[in-house]
Amino acid sequence: MKIKAGIIGGAGYTGGEMLRILVNHPQVEIAFVNSSSNAGNLISDVHTDLFGDTDLKFTDQISQDIDVLFLCVGHGDAKKFLEANQINEKVKIIDLSQDFRLAQNSQLATRNFVYGLPELNKKKIQSAQNIANPGCFATCIQMGLLPLAAKGLLKSEVHINATTGSTGAGQSLSKTSHFSWRNNNLSIYKAFEHQHLNEIGESLAQLQGEVKEALNFIPQRGDFTRGILAAMYIESDLTEEAAYELYESYYASHPFTHVSRKNIDLKQVVNTNKCLIHLEKHGNKLFIISIIDNLLKGASGQAVQNMNLMFGLEETAGLKLKAIGF
């Protein structure tokens, strides 16, 4: 029997990516796609690339006859939705907002949310009822640092410069999302203060204990549509070969994360659920590059990866996606 999935907020970027994956997932049936602003409209009228793939329409109704519910809504809206709607406790929930990611916010009434980074919490995810899907910047940066934290090697400040595509800001228009502003442009925002630092810190502490040294994070808005490249460095006594062995060992059982001994670029991961990592040693500095697609491994792809784990499916089911290449 197929897993019955419902989607709340199906008209946005993450909702659209969720639909693109689940329409072709061999073990999932989409029960409903909720969008109050598009109720009655064909999904393919909003996500026009799905024309010919599905005849489903958006609805403003919510069915309880489902196995899993994806919350593809804005930050703050997931908590409001669950407070306003009684969802059967047997229904598994995967929330893509930031509402339940931090430990202090991970409980709502009888629901307890597990932080859904498979490369950190795979066993917990497999037995979880509710998942808080990680943030996109947080995913990319954590993947570059988890192997070091697992060995207690985050002993000096970490310097992080990470650039994201325009889809990371969501579908709602703002001054910094218009094509005329974003194209051929580059800007920094929330330097040293980005909200994803909190969840990164909790994950690193889970592996290493308290991380006393600073995470110096400089986020950038890139002039491209999708993808994140995080360039990080830290003082380290590891040789380059020892660092590669550490990273390759840590990610050996994780099918979407690959450590490359050649330099990497975003087109290798855009439109996939992959994370690629490249390492270099420069003097006493270990330089780490981590890349993902912010809408897939950074959002909807990782949510489906979590669903696969929760229901005992092959972790890669529905997620063997082709990179754009060029």
Residues labelled catalytic: 136
Runs of H (alpha helix) within 61-135: 77-84, 118-126
- Tell me how far apart the alpha carbons of residues 272 and 324 are, in angstroms, rounded to a whole number: 9
| Cβ burial, residue 323 (10 Å; 0-12/13-18/19+) | middle
- Tell me how far apart the alpha carbons of residues 145 and 250 are, in angstroms, rounded to a whole number: 11
| Cβ burial, residue 122 (10 Å; 0-12/13-18/19+) | middle
Cα–chain center distance at 39? 27
Q: Is 67 helix (H, G, I), strand (E, B) or coil?
A: coil
Rg (CA), the chain: 19
- Tell me how far apart the alpha carbons of residues 39 and 143 are, in angstroms, rounded to a whole number: 38
- Tell me how far apart the alpha carbons of residues 292 and 168 are, in angstroms, rounded to a whole number: 12
Task: Give the tokens for residue 201.
Answer: 């810190």
Report long-range pairs for 104-108 (Cβ below 8 Å, ≥24 apart).
106/132, 108/79, 108/82, 108/83
